[in-house]
């Protein structure tokens, strides 16, 4: 569980750093491409990691796949929100 937490934290930190310092579009591409590349390059290890139980919630196993999907949804929502906000602020300058 600790290794999973560390890997997810590194993944989220990399996405945030790319989003803040480079581009949110590249962060979105990294967010999608890195897990796909890992599954393509190391399918057996990726399968074991994704199906490893992260913990239990009300008696139901929570797998690393569920955590990965939650991280994906959250980060994609943040990236889309930041892009929409940047677009909205940019268009407000021209209306005044």
- Torsion region of 9: left, alpha or beta (phi above 0 gives left; psi -120 to 50 gives alpha): alpha
- What is the C-alpha to C-alpha distance for residues 64 and 52, in angstroms, rounded to an integer? 6
pLDDT per residue as tens digits for the range 43-58: 888 888 888 777 777 8
Residue 95 has pLDDT above 70, yes or no: no
- Torsion region of 59: left, alpha or beta (phi above 0 gives left; psi -120 to 50 gives alpha): left
- What is the C-alpha to C-alpha distance for residues 75 and 96, in angstroms, rounded to an integer? 32
pLDDT per residue as tens digits for the range 59-75: 778 888 888 888 889 98
Residue 78 has pLDDT above 70, yes or no: yes
pTM confidence score:
0.75
């Amino acid at each position: 569980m600790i290794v999973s937490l560390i890997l997810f934290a590194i993944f989220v930190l990399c996405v945030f750093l790319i989003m803040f310092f480079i581009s949110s579009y590249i962060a979105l591409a990294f967010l999608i491409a890195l897990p796909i590349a890992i599954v393509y390059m190391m399918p057996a290890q990726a399968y074991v990691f994704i199906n490893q139980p992260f913990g239990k919630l009300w008696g139901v196993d929570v797998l690393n796949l569920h955590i990965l999907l939650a991280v994906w949804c959250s980060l994609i929502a943040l990236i889309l929100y930041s892009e929409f906000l940047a677009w909205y602020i940019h268009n407000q300058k021209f209306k005044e």
